[in-house]
Amino acid sequence: MKKLFFKVMALSALLFLIVCWSSGISFYVAVWVETISYAILTLLLLKRYSQNDLRKTCIITSAVIIGHIILQLPVRIFDFNGSTISLLIMINTIISIILATLCYHKRQIYLYVLSIVTMIILNIVAHDAWIDYFISH
């Protein structure tokens, strides 16, 4: 299990390194790129390693989340005020990982639809409000 955890965590961190360039384009692009890519990664890893084992599902989900956060943690600790504008990207990505896990575990069409609608609302409405707040202050 430890080997699986660290393997998944490394894949998640590698994905972050691959997609982090999107923040350089805009935070709108970054939130979409990261939430979609991490949801897909989570679904693929769960399909490959979980076999509907709830314990493995929790380990994989935790490893994906930690792999996503681990590279951002030093920046967020040492320059929290400077990095708060992009904090919602990390939060939305964690939510997309959790929603992908729920979709994989339950496999109900309504849950897929609800998850997509939730991510659209978070990535558009909540993200716009977040950016507007930081621009006005």
- Residue by residue, DSSP assigns the chain as -HHHHHHHHHHHHHHHHHHTTHHHH-HHHHHHHHHHHHHHHHHHHHHHHTTT-HHHHHHHHHHHHHHHHHTTHHHHHHTHHHHGGGHHHHHHHHHHHHHHHHHHHH--HHHHHHHHHHHHHIIIIIHHHHHHHHHH-
Tokens, residue 71: 């590279």
Q: Is the pLDDT of residue 135 over 90?
A: no
Distance, in Å, from the CA atom of 57 to the CA atom of 74, rounded to the nearest integer, reads 27
Which of these, 70, 53, 54, lies nearest to 9 by C-alpha position?
70
What percentage of the chain carries pLDDT values higher than 70?
A: 100
Q: Is the pLDDT of residue 3 over 90?
A: yes
Residues 124-132, mean pLDDT to the nearest whole number: 90
Instruction: State the burial class of residue 83 (Cβ atoms within 10 Å of its Cβ: 0-12, 13-18, 19+).
Output: middle
Residues 90-119, mean pLDDT to the nearest whole number: 95
Q: Which pTM value belongs to this model?
A: 0.93
Q: Is the pLDDT of residue 137 over 80?
A: no
Give tens-digit pLDDT for 37-81. Answer: 999 999 999 999 988 889 999 999 999 999 999 999 999 999 888
